[in-house]
Amino acid sequence: MTSARGERIPLEQYFSGRDLRSRELFDRVRSAIESIGPATMRVTRSQVAFRRRVAFAWTWLPGQYLRGDVASLVLTIDLHRRDESPRWKEVVEPRPGRFTHHLELRSAADIDEQVLAWLVEAWGHAG
């Protein structure tokens, strides 16, 4: 049984009524991932997941959960190591040897070569 939270929805529904910048940033993230290689996309009410054999990146809208001055979009990347970049909003280790990195995206400039390198690394481990 699929919970309402995990139920798939159309991408347009996910972004319906949201800030246009969040959709523009999402499209850039999706293009970056597509430039690396094949991945499937799963859209639910809470997030958009990108996966190969396992999920390696997610985007979500912090405005769904937080108030105030929040980023337009958060990109979450699963790495097999803790990356020490100061750009990360938060890094957690949900299970030994797996590190979830949260990056706030406020402008297209935030999706740069460093972010692409992290996505390439995560994509490679997900296959």
Looking at the structure of the chain, the number of domains it has is 1
Which of 12, 74, 66 lies closest to 49 in space, CA to CA? 74
Specify if 96 maps to a domain: yes
Specify if 63 maps to a domain: yes
Query: Which CATH number is 26's domain given?
Result: 3.90.1150
Residue 56, domain extent: 11-126
Cα torsion at 114, 117, 119, 122 (round to 10°)?
Answer: -130
Specify if 36 maps to a domain: yes
Mean pLDDT of all residues belonging to the chain: 95
The string of pLDDT tens digits covering residues 66-95 is 888 899 999 999 999 999 999 999 999 999
The pLDDT score that the predictor gives to residue 5 is: 57
Specify if 55 maps to a domain: yes
Instruction: Write the CA distances from 36 to 11, 33, 57, 118, 120, integer angstroms.
Output: 21, 5, 13, 11, 6
The string of pLDDT tens digits covering residues 102-113 is 999 999 999 999
On the question of pLDDT at 3 being above 90, the answer is no
The pLDDT score that the predictor gives to residue 4 is: 54
Residue 108 tokens, joined: 């297209």
Specify if 2 maps to a domain: no
The pLDDT score that the predictor gives to residue 68 is: 86
Specify if 1 maps to a domain: no
The span from the CA of 90 to the CA of 100, in Å, is 8
Specify if 6 maps to a domain: no
On the question of pLDDT at 60 being above 90, the answer is yes
The pLDDT score that the predictor gives to residue 115 is: 99
